[in-house]
């Protein structure tokens, strides 16, 4: 397993790179559907991300 860096959101080992800003992000903060990080997703699909975060918080 080769680590390329840390997630810019949570600091976990990153697995992907955002296609928009090029930031390293972990699996949790990378949206493979759009190839974007959660930060770049926010302005575009704010509602959806909010939902995801809500679910995560409830899960915890």
Residues that bind Zn ion (CB under 5 A): 7, 9-10, 12, 18, 20-21, 23, 26, 28-29, 37, 40
Smallest distance from Zn ion to CB 11, Å: 7
Q: Do the Cβ atoms of 35 and 44 come closer than 8 Å?
A: no
> Given the complex with Zn ion, which of 54 and 56 has the nearer CB atom?
56
> Given the complex with Zn ion, which of 20 and 49 has the nearer CB atom?
20
Tokens standing for residue 49: 């991300």
Please give the Cα distance from 56 to 38 (Å, whole number): 14
Please give the Cα distance from 19 to 1 (Å, whole number): 22
> Given the complex with Zn ion, which of 21 and 54 has the nearer CB atom?
21
């Amino acid at each position: 397993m080769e680590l390329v860096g840390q997630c810019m959101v949570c600091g976990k080992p990153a697995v992907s790179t955002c296609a928009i800003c090029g930031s390293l992000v972990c699996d949790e903060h990378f949206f493979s559907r759009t190839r974007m990080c959660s930060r770049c997703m926010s302005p575009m699909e704010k509602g959806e991300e909010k939902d995801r975060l809500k679910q995560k918080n409830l899960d915890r």
